[in-house]
Amino acid sequence: AAWALLRSLFRRALMASGWCTIESDPGVFSELITELGVKGVQVHELWSLDKESMAEVGPVHGLIFLFRWRGEKDDRATVTPGPGVFFASQMIPNACATQAILSVLMNCPSISLGEEMTAFKAFTKDFPPDVKGLAISNSDLLRRVHNSFARAEPTVSEERRASKEEDEVYHFISYVPVDGKLYELDGLKAGPICLGDAGPGEAWLDAVTPAIQARIEQYS
């Protein structure tokens, strides 16, 4: 039965199309989350990682980092996702931002996901990362809501939409605390990267700041 499901997901993934590029805007992301049925969650754009900026937006469930990807080798070890970690391989280039959002939503037990996303999380709970990614690509709800925020331009991969002159590539990754550990979740990698202990409450924000700052300096 498991192999039959996997084959079915692969067939549907091969036929799946129409995942449009959406605007990289916190207001768009907040509305997308609401349309998925999730309650009480908003996306805020941060220009600083200081404690004052974090405090202004209230409880922080996770952080999403948008950066210019250069294809450099990353030797950091990935880990096998534990039972409490939702990690999905990225199967659709244009779903990059939506998948980063899901990485935060699905890894925060205190978030009210709503009926459909709760069912999706339960359905995919025991799937390996690649099958989770296929389940995302084949979700009619996720595709429909994602496409409702399509940019008014020809469909171009989020990772490949840069100028021809510079050939810039952009990518979204997520940082979340799960079960006392801090993780970097990047659907283009084989698994999560554990960054160490998250600490109690929002102490994980202190732990994640150096990791994000290092990435900013690397890609600036």
**Sign of the four-CA dihedral 215, 201, 197, 106:** negative
- The Cα–Cα gap between 30 and 88 comes to 21
| Residue (of 41, 25, 81, 68) closest to 193 by Cα position | 81
- Residue 61 is among the residues annotated as catalytic for this protein: no
Catalytic entry in 20, 146, 171, 194:
171
- Residue 96 is among the residues annotated as catalytic for this protein: yes
Catalytic entry in 20, 96, 146, 194:
96
Contacts of 69 (CB under 8 A, 6+ apart): 159, 169, 170, 171
Token pair, residue 116, equals 């459909």
Residues catalogued as catalytic: 96, 171
